[in-house]
């Protein structure tokens, strides 16, 4: 066991974590910023982002007000308007920063103007992108920028297990007490298989999303909600977990893949049209914005058409689009389709909804401060108030950059007021043995994903949620028993974390007796006249 001290601890090396780390390291050249990441530095949801970053760029056609309105409209009454204005108005400065660090966004042909794309729910073209590999380009940029700063240390294959609070010092901690403090975390060094104690003055959770709680997801396997589960265990506040965004168009592949490959919404923004196998359009029955309606509407429409017709997928027709332009914009999507025998210029692309984004998460204020002192959070693991009941496409990379900056603004004035806690004990592994039955973990994971996919998916009902709750309780008890007796492994911790996430989603969904944004239940199909956040 090793004890490590660092001024600032960041969990996660995606857009939120590295953007914050770069700013902090540059401001405090003589302080250490330690970034933990559970696999390779470059593996994150960020890396897979396709569509791009939404930002008001062309002030001749677009305005902050329009972006604010689109965000509020998608959020279905649950956004915090102050937060929406902050993100929309500060967003372009943050985008400019990453451009200054070297990010390349596509420009119009023979022009210095950015090629702004449009996606569902946006009233204007305002998405900066790099082909269909925007996330890859942004991840590359922040990794290079971070590598140029000698006081950032990235420790790969380090799995953060739990936040350290007074609880670990043997003190009583009462939920919601403003006095809970975070002193760092315990983390499993996957190379030595030892659990280290990492002590920090300030800790920032940037651990990303939760997509792996469902069977079909566009999220990579790292997206297991670890940060949200850790914050909840540490008695931090978590909110709006019922708002799980299903992307309408993941590529339907009979050979099941994890993750599912995404067919970007930008393809619909480019003119792709949703159709049935017979080539009929169907979106006119659901929304006047047709294929470019907000995601919740399109995903439910596809789900409903598939159920009515008894089909495995619906289709995206791109055959009428200009071949050269399509290839320039979507080379990766084209190649992926070809690899499974679909030629987008002669075949319609088979698509199916898949879990894509968690709108809820660790509750934070406008400076990314969680309900736990000295603990900040940014990115997909948070609930800032921007997304409300449904995230507007391409607003999340923007949100992560804006909050990384705001946390930096807050930390820079407070870091010196916080010291290390040297009385933190090392991890206690007493009574645990090496795992003998890994197969139990794999099987429970499969069951968990099935429960969530069958009972807590796009369409919910009281009876389905009750079934999920009953089954989750069994899984919870079995897994906790395993945890008490088995040496910690990433697989066991991810299972435990995902069970917590599943419970938080199901419980929030059960409490919301209305249909709003991404939460749709057949028992309460209407919206209530008042709005309430689901705080847990
Ligand atoms: P991530 O980028 O997911 O980073 C999380 C980091 O935390 C990773 O480094 C991970 O290894 C680390 N981590 C997790 N748990 C632990 C642990 N226990 N210990 C240590 N490290 C840990 N958004 C847009 O705005 N525009 C888009 O076009 C877009 N397209 C998308 C396409 C796809 C296929 C997907 C999956 C998402 C897309 N999104 C898009 C959403 C967006 O990519 C994410 O919301 C955003 O990148 C999240 O960034 P993050 O920094 O919060 O988390
Ligand atoms: C996409 O390219 O469709 C994803 C955009 C997003 O999730 O914001």
The CATH number covering residue 295 comes to 3.90.700.10
Q: Are residues 113 and 66 in the same domain?
A: yes
* Segments forming the whole domain that contains residue 336: 251-353
pLDDT value, residue 174: 55
Average per-residue pLDDT in the chain? Answer: 95
Which residues on neighbouring strands pair with residue 199, listed in sequence order? 5, 184
Model confidence at 178, in pLDDT bands (50, 70, 90)?
A: low
- Three-state secondary structure along 233-289? HCCCCEECCCCEEEEEEEECCCCCCCCCCECCHHHHHCCCEEECCCCCECHHHCCCC
- Which atom from ligand 1 is nearest to the alpha carbon of 398? 25
CA 499 / ligand 1 centre spacing (Å): 20
> DSSP letter at 391?
P
**Mutation to probe ligand 2, out of 14, 48, 49 (largest number of atoms < 8 A from CB):** 49
Judgement on whether residues 299 and 236 belong to the same structural domain of the protein: no
3-class secondary-structure state, position 483? helix
The predicted-structure confidence for 331-382, as pLDDT tens digits, reads as follows 999 999 999 999 999 999 999 999 999 999 999 999 999 999 999 999 999 9
Q: Give residue 34's pLDDT band: very low, low, confident or very high (50, 70, 90).
A: very high
Above 70 in pLDDT, residue 173? no
Give the tens place of pLDDT for each residue, 53-64: 999 999 999 999
Structural contact between residues 408 and 20, judged by C-beta atoms closer than 8 angstroms? yes
Question: Which pLDDT score, from 0 to 100, does residue 179 have?
Answer: 84
Work out the percent of the chain whose per-residue pLDDT is above 90: 90
Which of 325, 353, 381 is the C-terminal boundary of a domain?
353
Residue 490, pLDDT score:
96
Confidence of residue 268 (pLDDT cuts 50, 70, 90): very high
User: How many distinct structural domains can be found in the chain?
Assistant: 2
Phi and psi based region of residue 193 (left: phi greater than 0; alpha: psi -120 to 50; beta: remaining):
left
Residues 6+ apart with CB under 8 A from 402: 86, 87, 90, 91, 94
Do 270 and 399 sit in the same domain of this protein? no
| CA pair distance 458, 523, nearest whole angstrom | 14
Which of 21, 89, 101, 80 lies closest to 54 in space, CA to CA? 89
50 within ligand 2 shell (Cβ under 6 A): yes
Instruction: Specify the higher pLDDT residue, 284 or 438.
Output: 284
Tell me which of 248, 380, 394, 518 to substitute to probe ligand 2's pocket, judged by most ligand atoms within 8 Å of the beta carbon.
Answer: 394
d(CA 210, CA 226): 8
Q: Is residue 128 part of a domain?
A: yes
> Which ligand ends up closest to the CA of 49?
1
Give residue 461's pLDDT. Answer: 98
Atom of ligand 2 nearest to the CA of 54: 8
467 within some domain: no
Q: How many CA atoms lie within 13 A of 466 on its CB side?
A: 4
Using CA positions, which residue lies closest to atom 14 of ligand 1?
A: 207
Strands (E) located in 40-83: 53-54
Which residue, of 307, 337, 353, is where some domain finishes? 353
Verify whether ligand 2 is closer than 6 Å to residue 265 (CB atom): yes
Among 126, 215, 295, 374, the one annotated catalytic: 295
Same domain, 224 and 339: no
51 lines ligand 2 (CB under 6 A): yes
Counting ligands in written order, the one closest to the CA of 245 is 2
Instruction: Note the pLDDT tens digit of each residue in 481-512.
Output: 999 999 999 999 999 999 999 999 999 999 99
Check if 295 is active-site: yes
Note the pLDDT of residue 154.
98
Give the pLDDT mean for 271-296.
94
CATH assignment at residue 138: 3.50.50.60
Cα gap 336→88, rounded to integer Å:
33
Work out the pLDDT band at 438, boundaries 50, 70, 90: confident
Ligand 1 mean position, distance from CA 49 (Å): 8
- Would you state the pLDDT for residue 526? 95
Lowest mean pLDDT among 254-263, 291-300, 376-385, 404-413: 291-300
Q: Tell which one of 10, 12, 134, 265 to mutate to probe ligand 1, the residue whose CB is within 8 A of the most ligand atoms.
A: 12
46 lines ligand 2 (CB under 6 A): no
Q: Give the pLDDT mean for 392-406.
A: 97
Q: What was the pLDDT predicted at 431? A: 79
For residues 379-396, average pLDDT: 97
282 lines ligand 1 (CB under 6 A): no
For ligand 2, what atom is nearest to the CA of residue 265?
3
Query: What's the predicted TM-score (pTM) here?
Result: 0.97
- Same domain? For 170 and 267 the reply is no
Is pLDDT of 177 > 70? no
- Consecutive H or E run containing 37: none
d(C-alpha 528, C-alpha 515), whole Å:
8
Residue at token pair 């995601």: 295
Closest Cα to atom 8 of ligand 2:
394
Overall average pLDDT of the 286-313 stretch:
93
Helix (H) or strand (E) holding 200: strand 194-205
The residues, ordered by sequence, that sit 6+ positions from 399 with a Cβ below 8 Å of its Cβ are 87, 379, 384, 386, 387
**CB 353 near ligand 1, within 6 Å:** no
Residues 320 and 206 placed together within one structural domain of the fold: no
CA of 355 to the centre of ligand 1 (A): 13
Burial of 347 (0-12, 13-18, 19+ CB in 10 A): middle
Verify whether ligand 1 is closer than 6 Å to residue 160 (CB atom): yes
160-170 mean pLDDT: 89
Dist CA 134 CA 116 (whole Å): 13
Instruction: Answer yes or no: is 309 within a domain.
Output: yes
Say yes or no: 341 and 377 in one domain. no
Ligand positioned closest to the Cα atom of 380:
1
Judge if 75 and 189 occupy the same domain: yes
Nearest atom in ligand 2 to 245's CA: 7
Mean pLDDT throughout 238-258? 95
CB of 264 shorter than 6 A to ligand 2: yes
Strand-pairing partners, residue 319, are: none
């Amino acid at each position: 066991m090793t004890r490590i001290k660092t001024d600032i601890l960041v969990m996660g090396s995606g857009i939120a974590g590295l953007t914050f780390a770069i700013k902090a390291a540059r401001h405090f050249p003589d302080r250490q910023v330690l970034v933990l990441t559970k696999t390779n530095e470059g593996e994150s949801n960020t890396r897979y982002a396709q569509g791009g970053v939404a930002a008001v760029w062309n002030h001749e056609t677009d305005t902050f007000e329009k972006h604010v309105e689109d965000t509020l409209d998608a959020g279905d009454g649950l956004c915090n308007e102050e937060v929406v204005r902050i993100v929309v108005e500060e967003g372009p400065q943050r985008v400019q920063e990453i451009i200054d660090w070297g990010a390349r966004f596509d420009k119009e042909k023979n022009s210095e103007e950015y090629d702004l794309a449009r996606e569902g729910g946006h009233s204007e073209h305002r998405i900066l992108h790099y082909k269909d590999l925007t996330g890859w380009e942004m991840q590359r940029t922040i990794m290079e920028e971070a590598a140029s700063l000698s006081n950032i240390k990235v420790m790969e294959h380090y799995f953060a297990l739990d936040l350290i609070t007074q609880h670990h010092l043997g003190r009583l901690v009462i939920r919601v007490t403003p006095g809970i403090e975070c002193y760092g975390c315990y983390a499993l060094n996957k190379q030595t298989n030892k659990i280290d104690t990492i002590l920090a003055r300030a800790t920032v959770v940037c651990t990303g999303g939760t997509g792996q709680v469902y069977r079909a997801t566009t999220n990579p396997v790292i997206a297991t909600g670890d940060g949200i589960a850790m914050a909840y265990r540490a008695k931090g506040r978590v909110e709006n977990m019922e708002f799980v965004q299903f992307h309408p168009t993941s590529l339907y592949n009979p050979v099941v893949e994890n993750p599912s490959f995404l067919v970007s919404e930008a393809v619909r923004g480019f003119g792709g049209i949703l159709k049935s196998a017979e080539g009929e359009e169907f979106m006119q029955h659901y929304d006047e914005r047709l294929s470019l309606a907000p995601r919740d509407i399109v995903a439910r429409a596809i789900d409903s058409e598939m159920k009515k017709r008894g089909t495995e997928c619906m289709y995206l027709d791109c055959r009428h689009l200009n071949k050269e332009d399509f290839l320039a914009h979507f080379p990766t999507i084209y190649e992926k389709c070809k690899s499974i025998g679909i030629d987008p210029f002669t075949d319609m692309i088979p698509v199916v909804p898949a879990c894509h984004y968690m709108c809820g998460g660790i509750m934070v204020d406008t400076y990314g401060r969680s309900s736990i002192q000295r603990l900040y959070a940014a990115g997909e693991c948070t609930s800032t108030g921007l997304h409300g009941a449904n995230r507007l496409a391409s607003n999340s990379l923007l949100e992560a950059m804006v909050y990384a900056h705001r946390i930096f603004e807050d930390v820079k004035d407070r870091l010196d007021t916080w010291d290390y806690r040297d009385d933190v004990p090392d991890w206690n592994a007493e009574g645990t043995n090496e795992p003998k039955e890994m197969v139990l973990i794999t099987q429970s994971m499969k069951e968990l994903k099935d429960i969530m996919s069958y009972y807590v998916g796009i369409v919910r009902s009281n009876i389905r949620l009750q079934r999920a709750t009953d089954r989750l309780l069994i899984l919870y008890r079995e897994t906790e028993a395993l945890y008490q007796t088995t040496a910690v492994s990433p697989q066991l911790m991810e299972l435990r974390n995902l069970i917590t996430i599943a419970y938080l989603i199901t419980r929030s969904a059960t409490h919301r007796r209305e249909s709003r944004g991404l939460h749709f239940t057949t028992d309460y199909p209407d919206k209530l006249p008042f709005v309430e956040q689901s705080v847990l």
